Amino acid sequence: MADARSFNHLSGTFVKVSTPAHGPVNAFHEPFWTELGQVFDKISQEPTVRAVVLGSALPKFFSAGIDFSALSFPNNGSDPARSALQLKRHILGFQDCISAIERCPYPVVVAAHGYALGLSVDIISACDVRYAAANTIFAIKEVDVGLAADIGSLARVPKVAGNHSLVHELAYTGRNFSAAEAEKMGFVSRVVEGGRDQVTAAALEVAKLIAEKSPVAVAGTKHLLLHSRDHTVRENLEYTAVWNSAMLQTQDLMDAVKAAQKKQKPKFGPLGSKL
Amino acid sequence: MADARSFNHLSGTFVKVSTPAHGPVNAFHEPFWTELGQVFDKISQEPTVRAVVLGSALPKFFSAGIDFSALSFPNNGSDPARSALQLKRHILGFQDCISAIERCPYPVVVAAHGYALGLSVDIISACDVRYAAANTIFAIKEVDVGLAADIGSLARVPKVAGNHSLVHELAYTGRNFSAAEAEKMGFVSRVVEGGRDQVTAAALEVAKLIAEKSPVAVAGTKHLLLHSRDHTVRENLEYTAVWNSAMLQTQDLMDAVKAAQKKQKPKFGPLGSKL
Amino acid sequence: MADARSFNHLSGTFVKVSTPAHGPVNAFHEPFWTELGQVFDKISQEPTVRAVVLGSALPKFFSAGIDFSALSFPNNGSDPARSALQLKRHILGFQDCISAIERCPYPVVVAAHGYALGLSVDIISACDVRYAAANTIFAIKEVDVGLAADIGSLARVPKVAGNHSLVHELAYTGRNFSAAEAEKMGFVSRVVEGGRDQVTAAALEVAKLIAEKSPVAVAGTKHLLLHSRDHTVRENLEYTAVWNSAMLQTQDLMDAVKAAQKKQKPKFGPLGSKL
Amino acid sequence: MADARSFNHLSGTFVKVSTPAHGPVNAFHEPFWTELGQVFDKISQEPTVRAVVLGSALPKFFSAGIDFSALSFPNNGSDPARSALQLKRHILGFQDCISAIERCPYPVVVAAHGYALGLSVDIISACDVRYAAANTIFAIKEVDVGLAADIGSLARVPKVAGNHSLVHELAYTGRNFSAAEAEKMGFVSRVVEGGRDQVTAAALEVAKLIAEKSPVAVAGTKHLLLHSRDHTVRENLEYTAVWNSAMLQTQDLMDAVKAAQKKQKPKFGPLGSKL
Amino acid sequence: MADARSFNHLSGTFVKVSTPAHGPVNAFHEPFWTELGQVFDKISQEPTVRAVVLGSALPKFFSAGIDFSALSFPNNGSDPARSALQLKRHILGFQDCISAIERCPYPVVVAAHGYALGLSVDIISACDVRYAAANTIFAIKEVDVGLAADIGSLARVPKVAGNHSLVHELAYTGRNFSAAEAEKMGFVSRVVEGGRDQVTAAALEVAKLIAEKSPVAVAGTKHLLLHSRDHTVRENLEYTAVWNSAMLQTQDLMDAVKAAQKKQKPKFGPLGSKL
Amino acid sequence: MADARSFNHLSGTFVKVSTPAHGPVNAFHEPFWTELGQVFDKISQEPTVRAVVLGSALPKFFSAGIDFSALSFPNNGSDPARSALQLKRHILGFQDCISAIERCPYPVVVAAHGYALGLSVDIISACDVRYAAANTIFAIKEVDVGLAADIGSLARVPKVAGNHSLVHELAYTGRNFSAAEAEKMGFVSRVVEGGRDQVTAAALEVAKLIAEKSPVAVAGTKHLLLHSRDHTVRENLEYTAVWNSAMLQTQDLMDAVKAAQKKQKPKFGPLGSKL
């Protein structure tokens, strides 16, 4: 069983979330990803959090992906239709756990290192900012076990990166790709020399920077960027006008302007009482 | 007050639009962006224009963004709902000025240099072709004044660039980023060695090249590329078939074919009478 | 007339499709693109195919694009409305031939080399994986003959690449661009040193790798990636759950797991009887 | 020329807008529909308006539709492409005038009577609440002059009514249909015995009732109903939550609750200062 | 085998299409619906057709729906995934035959009578104008054979009618419903006293009326109404402006205006040469 | 507190859900609607349920709507932005409870009677089949307490009914409307003479009929009808083909065909093990 405490080290204005060790390769089984979703849904309700860093506690593996040996497929005997209805619900539940990262109102910075295979890519693509250690080895591995990736890689990687040709190649072949290739295709924004510790330090640094900003502005920015990804420019502009019609009434804006006039760094309160 | 003449130097087949000096840092206040919208709407109706270049007249600043000291927020006393309705209308009006660049039927080439902060990025992302001098320093600055960017940066930057991780990082932190980083993420297509004069020369060069082409073909290309950004491939293909069912009846096509047979450079008339 | 046999060399688990020589520059006329569509629709029904490679048989030209000298525009006398209805149907038919590449259930790897102009880009952008020889010279040439590209370049290139500024520039100017520039903008995923033979060899290599994978997994991956391009993340996740509710019942998944346990390479049957 | 004063009788909490007499059949020419748009855009900015009633001042005609004798089509000589670009802009401008009714933040109740042909149906379908005198004779007349209705009837009538078969029949044949048939198909919500005066009285009555309600609640209801028409249930629910996150902070809600406790009729202030 | 000739009685300006006798209840098997699609695709290319009437040649049955005894389901042995891929293609092919009615550019008026069960409703809902004899008995029958209707009833009936509650009830129960109930829910626009002959006469009458109108206007109206059904008002208005930018250049408009001035009935030529 | 047992009377193949008495007018407070959502989510996981009937246990009230006296609005002091974020989450949570009816895989038949005000309409519009006793008095009441209905009425009523004019009028005025008017506008499919007992009996009857059908077919029909409401015809047809590619492999189809051949009534097993 995963260690719940290690998921949720609240510390002032940021949170370090580490996937706990599950065997030597950090493989995922159902209780593990269920817990991942619950931890992120819990973080989402913490009004003092400002940014989240997601990393792995193991030195060599971000995660080896799903532990297929621990997987039991729903089975409804001989009726493929009834089996399909069960499987659909199962997949939707699984997706929902990983999408907890996306629906978390705070930016999530992921620090990848070592082997980051299969489900790792689904998880990493649901984060906001992606940093990779130079030693990271990624793979969209699902095709090698006879299935199309269904937990988010095919939904999100083509949208967050900028080279569909490479995304298709990687998804069809399941081959390993390096941090450098991930950066070239626009999947990660920074490759950090070294391994786990170096990339985690870099991720914490950017998370701290984010944590100093107005939480109203940061939460709005995440919300509107995700809306932008899934809507036209016109729809997004109109939605943004409605969103900011409430958000521009925030005290943070006045505080920021006043601090600017005094050439001081502004300080912003948390998002408030329990969300 | 902005100098209207400097906005609109019509010169044969192209237009140079320069944001006029507003103090030493070219900061924007409401009359300034209102005028920007009006100038582009006026250009949109000039039947002889072929391409537009947008640059700043100042040597060190493209623009420092909004001049917050000149900003007055609509206020409706103590009712947040009535204030929100006013703010929404205000934001929509502001967006509409910047979107005048996008609804201009002619390609707009922007030449960025020096500091290009806050609203600069909203403006630049609404252009068609983005060139940056090597000395350009960009920032999606809005988060530093307590708000999510609402005039277009969050709507357009993720769609025109190819690295969502970097877009998120820049939007959450408000940090400066260089021309090189802008090129790496796919936000600009060319970094020009030097500063304002060099990048403007390069932008004018590409604008001149565009101005030699059939204006029916160029206007159609802009219109269809923007449609493509906001629709599925299938929707865009069908729309394109309807669009070109009229456009293929143009004389320009025949002129181009004939000139090609004579190994001459074709000459195309303007889009015609007042649009 | 194109040589039908050369289109369809079925060979075990992959297919090499070569555009046949049509004059010295491989220019396209209507029977040629009609045949291209028919060949891909035929491949789509072959249950033993696993992957497709598309290349040109000529040493110096992928294709010079449309042969305008052979083009006859539908004409309905003096009524522009009736002409438009004819032209619309004509364009939709033409698009449909090229979209046969996209609706082919198997991944299509394109190997570009030499001159790849005009219609070449429409065709290449409809493929899944794009490789280019270092000697490739691309151009979105349509603007030079007085029209906006209407067979797919404007619909697909901005979606598969990661730099809208460059896409706009290339589409407005019709200028040549190199394999290196194509890679920088995210249009191709690999530049292969050399020319036709070298890039074809590289494309065949990746096609062979794809052909070893479960065809259920690969076909699902292509289908879901294309769905992802044209839908929101949420829509795609839900669709994927329905899709995989049937696909996870495949024997291939069990075979893959068993082979993994035995540390063997799995072997997968074809998609089955005639599709 | 239309009589501007008769368009805009501000009277306390509601507005009566009457299309002025233009000849004996109230036919529309360009200055007339331009004025209609301007009047509605002006009303939209009046902060004390609560509801709008639209009717005709003539006894026998709501309107005979467009006055074709006064129509001049843009013409650009012999190039159908350039003519098409002009016509597109012309149609968009015309549509924009009629859509001013829809973008007006206050509910618009239309009182139809007598002949309500062609453009009448475009106008009536853009209103919120449709009442018809029993003597009303409608027709989607455009097909009789050789064109598909392009100012809103085909866009809106199928969405606001509940019988596509009848909508198609009426649009293909251009035949007259009665108030009773309009009610049967769900196009009007009430048929009022009598003619102009009776239906106007009924429309004013419902407008007065609307004008007593909270303007924050009414404006939100119109905005969200129009959003609902053009979005999925899920999109609309999420948008509504953002919208009401500001609107529920209104004083009107507290005033309504307090009045209810005192068993009094609440009184609400106008939407406030100039919108 | 269906009698191809009886499908396609071209007669001046309209077409009567009758489903031929297939046994005493006009049940559909695969060659029958394949032919239905082919006939409509053939009609779509006939440039002189103006309107289509669809009816049944049998006195008591419009159609009893699919003949399940003649149905062979694709089967791929024991792999549900491979079977699913086959079935998907099969269903898409079947849908495509019925959708030929919708993609036919000419209005299709359907005359229903007697039993109109199962597939009948899929077919009828794809038509433009629906007339029913008073003796018609409809049923969305599919649930009774263990499947959700997948050829169009669930896609189209809720969109063309105006009572979702009744549509859901009929689709869940498979119960019979009368012509009167069909009219009440907005599924048909006219109930004709009598049976086959009376409803066919009424359908022919409206088809003749349509056939007198400008074919440019009528084809545009059908195209834009179908676009309207599947797009927002704003999208449809913009699309309409592009569509009519070519169509308003038609000679038919001038002919209509001139005929109106002379108080004559205009005569319009066919859509022209082969589409 | 609501009585949990009375929500969930499982009985063979159908479920009767009654809103329990909460005071004499069945008003809703937060624990009540939270429970409503939980009960429906629980029903959704019961594999033996076939259909659900929703009614009120009180003789005179379906429900008087929200009990405003028990309502506490989230409040975050003086910052309207932080309050808005809280309110948004609150509204989304409330909506989610009512949408549990829609996401329940089994058809929900609602039996309305007596006063059905405010939140009642939100609830009723989320059901599949709507029956009303002749004595039912509906009202979209929210405008009377100073807010736009945000729990589903504005999202769903215009889509399920067929007269937008009446929907707008009812939503702006908050006036009562009768069962007859609800039927005229297409909001209910049947008006049952009498009151609570009569309409409940009629609803149970149709639920029993539904419960005899194949649960695979019925669940698919509900899923596809909801998909159809929110997608284009083309999207829905393609989705349906994927959905039925698994569902047509059900044993129920074979059982239905066999029973038909034997002229017997088929018997179908439940959807199976725990969903």
C-beta neighbour count of F73 within 10 angstroms: 12
Cβ contacts below 8 Å, chain D against chain E, sum to 164
The answer, for B13 touching chain C at a CB cutoff of 8 Å, is no
Task: Please give the pLDDT value at position B106.
Answer: 95
Give the gyration radius of chain A's Cα atoms.
Answer: 20
Task: Please give the pLDDT value at position E27.
Answer: 81
Task: Please give the pLDDT value at position F25.
Answer: 77
pLDDT band, residue F26 (cuts 50/70/90): confident
Cβ contacts below 8 Å, chain B against chain D, sum to 73
Task: Please give the pLDDT value at position E26.
Answer: 79
What are the chain A neighbours of E146 within 8 Å (beta carbons)?
none
- Domain annotation covers residue A269: no
Query: What would the mean pLDDT of A233-255 be, rounded to a whole number?
Result: 96
Give the gyration radius of chain C's Cα atoms.
Answer: 20
Query: Is a pLDDT exceeding 90 seen at residue E18?
Result: no
What are the chain F neighbours of C245 within 8 Å (beta carbons)?
246
Find tokens 């609570």 and name the residue: F196
pLDDT digits (tens, 9 = 90+) for E164-204: 999 999 999 999 999 999 999 999 999 999 999 999 999 99
Answer yes or no: do F48 and F113 share one domain: yes
Instruction: Tell me how close the Cα of D41 comes to any Cα of chain C, in angstroms.
Output: 34
Strands of F33-107, DSSP E: 51-56, 61-63
Instruction: Tell me how close the Cα of E108 comes to any Cα of chain C, in angstroms.
Output: 19
Partner-chain residue, chosen from C85, C105, C251, that has the shortest CB–CB distance to E79: C251
pLDDT digits (tens, 9 = 90+) for D248-268: 999 999 999 889 889 999 999
Instruction: Tell me how close the Cα of C219 comes to any Cα of chain E, in angstroms.
Output: 10
Could you give the CA distance from residue C240 to residue C224 in angstroms, rounded to a whole number? 7
Q: Which of C18-32, D114-128, D232-246, E187-201 has the lowest mean pLDDT?
A: C18-32
Task: Please give the pLDDT value at position A23.
Answer: 65
Contact check, Cβ <8 Å, A239/D243: no
Could you give the CA distance from residue F157 to residue F175 in angstroms, rounded to a whole number? 15
Query: What would the mean pLDDT of D53-80 be, rounded to a whole number?
Result: 81
Could you give the CA distance from residue C120 to residue C176 in angstroms, rounded to a whole number? 13
Q: Which of B76-80, B184-188, E4-8, F219-223 has the lowest mean pLDDT?
A: E4-8
Answer yes or no: do D181 and D67 share one domain: yes
- Domain annotation covers residue B269: no
Answer yes or no: do C104 and C231 share one domain: no
In 3D space, the residue among C269, C128, C145, C99 whose CA is nearest the CA of residue C189 turns out to be: C128
Query: Is a pLDDT exceeding 50 seen at residue D90?
Result: yes
Instruction: Tell me how close the Cα of B243 comes to any Cα of chain C, in angstroms.
Output: 8
Angle at A219 (CA atoms; ends A217, A221), nearest 5 degrees: 65
Mean pLDDT, chain E, rounded, equals: 89
The answer, for C271 touching chain E at a CB cutoff of 8 Å, is yes
Answer yes or no: do E128 and E46 share one domain: yes
Answer yes or no: do D127 and D61 share one domain: yes
Supply the DSSP string of C144-186, one letter for each residue.
Answer: GGTS---SSHHHHHHHHSS-HHHHHHHHHH---EEHHHHHHTT
Q: Which of A201-210, B151-160, C213-222, F264-273 has the lowest mean pLDDT?
A: F264-273
- Domain annotation covers residue B59: yes
Contact check, Cβ <8 Å, D99/E237: yes
- Domain annotation covers residue D270: no
- Domain annotation covers residue C87: yes
Task: Please give the pLDDT value at position F177.
Answer: 98
Whether the Cβ atoms of residue C62 and residue C130 lie closer than 8 Å to each other: no
Order of all β-strands in the sheet with C51-56: C9-11, C14-19, C51-56, C108-112, C129-133, C190-192
Q: Which residue has the higher pLDDT, F22 or C209?
A: C209
What are the chain A neighbours of C155 within 8 Å (beta carbons)?
none
Answer yes or no: do E36 and E152 share one domain: yes
What are the chain D neighbours of A239 within 8 Å (beta carbons)?
239, 242
Whether the Cβ atoms of residue A52 and residue A108 lie closer than 8 Å to each other: yes
Task: Please give the pLDDT value at position D9.
Answer: 37
Task: Please give the pLDDT value at position B71.
Answer: 67
**pLDDT winner (highest mean) among D156-170, E247-261, F76-90:** D156-170
Query: Is a pLDDT exceeding 50 seen at residue D75?
Result: yes
What are the chain C neighbours of B237 within 8 Å (beta carbons)?
92, 95, 99, 152, 155
Contact check, Cβ <8 Å, B243/C150: yes
Query: Is a pLDDT exceeding 70 seen at residue D18?
Result: no
Task: Please give the pLDDT value at position C16.
Answer: 55
End position of a domain, from candidates E186, E211, E236? E211
- Domain annotation covers residue A271: no
The answer, for D239 touching chain A at a CB cutoff of 8 Å, is yes
Whether the Cβ atoms of residue B51 and residue B13 lie closer than 8 Å to each other: yes
Query: Is a pLDDT exceeding 70 seen at residue F39?
Result: yes
The answer, for E91 touching chain F at a CB cutoff of 8 Å, is yes
Query: Is a pLDDT exceeding 80 seen at residue A16?
Result: no
Whether the Cβ atoms of residue B273 and residue D75 lie closer than 8 Å to each other: no
Answer yes or no: do B206 and B252 share one domain: no
In this structure, what CATH number is given to the domain that contains residue A241?
Answer: 1.10.12.10
What are the chain D neighbours of F118 within 8 Å (beta carbons)?
none
Supply the DSSP string of E54-88, one letter for each residue.
Answer: EEESSSSEEE--B-GGG------TT-HHHHHHHHH
The answer, for B214 touching chain C at a CB cutoff of 8 Å, is yes
The answer, for F85 touching chain D at a CB cutoff of 8 Å, is yes
Answer yes or no: do F129 and F141 share one domain: yes
pLDDT band, residue B90 (cuts 50/70/90): very high
Mean pLDDT, chain B, rounded, equals: 89
pLDDT band, residue E41 (cuts 50/70/90): very high
In 3D space, the residue among E8, B221, A148, D75 whose CA is nearest the CA of residue C215 turns out to be: A148
Total structural domains within chain B: 2
Query: What would the mean pLDDT of B127-139 be, rounded to a whole number?
Result: 98
pLDDT digits (tens, 9 = 90+) for B48-61: 899 999 998 889 99
Cα A168 to chain centroid distance, Å, stands at 21
Task: Please give the pLDDT value at position F5.
Answer: 34
Q: Which of B69-83, D107-121, E227-241, F109-123 has the lowest mean pLDDT?
A: B69-83
The percentage of residues in chain B with a pLDDT greater than 90, rounded to a whole number, is 74
Instruction: Tell me how close the Cα of B69 comes to any Cα of chain C, in angstroms.
Output: 33
Task: Please give the pLDDT value at position D273.
Answer: 56
End position of a domain, from candidates D171, D193, D211? D211
**H/E element, A63:** strand A61-63
The answer, for D77 touching chain E at a CB cutoff of 8 Å, is no
Query: Is a pLDDT exceeding 60 seen at residue F91?
Result: yes
Contact check, Cβ <8 Å, B249/C174: no
B138 forms beta bridges with: B116, B177
Task: Please give the pLDDT value at position C274.
Answer: 45
* Residue F178: Cβ-neighbour burial (10 angstroms; 0-12, 13-18, 19+): middle
Query: What would the mean pLDDT of F153-176 be, rounded to a whole number?
Result: 98
In this structure, what CATH number is given to the domain that contains residue C67?
Answer: 3.90.226.10
How many residues are there in chain B? 275
Query: What would the mean pLDDT of A107-132 be, rounded to a whole number?
Result: 97
pLDDT band, residue E74 (cuts 50/70/90): low
pLDDT band, residue F7 (cuts 50/70/90): very low
The answer, for D123 touching chain E at a CB cutoff of 8 Å, is no
Task: Please give the pLDDT value at position E271.
Answer: 86
Which residue stretches of chain C have pLDDT < 70? 1-23, 70-77, 273-275
The residues, any chain, with a CB within 8 Å of residue A177's CB and separated by 6 or more, are A137, A138, A139, A170
Answer yes or no: do C72 and C153 share one domain: yes
What are the chain F neighbours of A250 within 8 Å (beta carbons)?
79-82
CA dihedral sign, ordered C230, C234, C240, C242:
negative
Mean pLDDT, chain F, rounded, equals: 89
pLDDT digits (tens, 9 = 90+) for F184-203: 999 999 999 999 999 999 99
Could you give the CA distance from residue F155 to residue F99 in angstroms, rounded to a whole number? 11
Contact check, Cβ <8 Å, F251/A85: no
What are the chain D neighbours of C80 within 8 Å (beta carbons)?
80, 83-84
Q: Which residue has the higher pLDDT, C127 or B28?
A: C127
Residue numbers of the domain that contains C232: 215-261
Task: Identify residue C3 by its one-letter amino acid code.
Answer: D
User: Max alpha carbon distance in chain A (Å)?
Assistant: 73
Chain A residue nearest residue F78, CA to CA: A251
What are the chain D neighbours of A245 within 8 Å (beta carbons)?
246
The answer, for D245 touching chain B at a CB cutoff of 8 Å, is no
Answer yes or no: do E82 and E183 share one domain: yes
Could you give the CA distance from residue C250 to residue C268 in angstroms, rounded to a whole number? 11
Partner-chain residue, chosen from B107, B186, B244, that has the shortest CB–CB distance to C150: B244
Query: Is a pLDDT exceeding 90 seen at residue E205?
Result: yes
What are the chain E neighbours of D166 within 8 Å (beta carbons)?
186, 189
- Domain annotation covers residue F270: no
Task: Please give the pLDDT value at position F17.
Answer: 52
Answer yes or no: do C240 and C199 share one domain: no
Contact check, Cβ <8 Å, C169/B162: no
Answer yes or no: do C128 and C228 share one domain: no
- Domain annotation covers residue A202: yes
The answer, for C234 touching chain A at a CB cutoff of 8 Å, is yes
Task: Please give the pLDDT value at position B10.
Answer: 34
What are the chain C neighbours of F245 within 8 Å (beta carbons)?
246
Whether the Cβ atoms of residue A20 and residue A3 lie closer than 8 Å to each other: yes
Is the reported ipTM for this assembly greater than 0.85?
yes
Q: E residues 151-210 near F, CB within 8 Å?
A: 152, 154-156, 158-159, 161-169, 171-175, 185-186
End position of a domain, from candidates A211, A231, A253? A211
E192 forms beta bridges with: E133
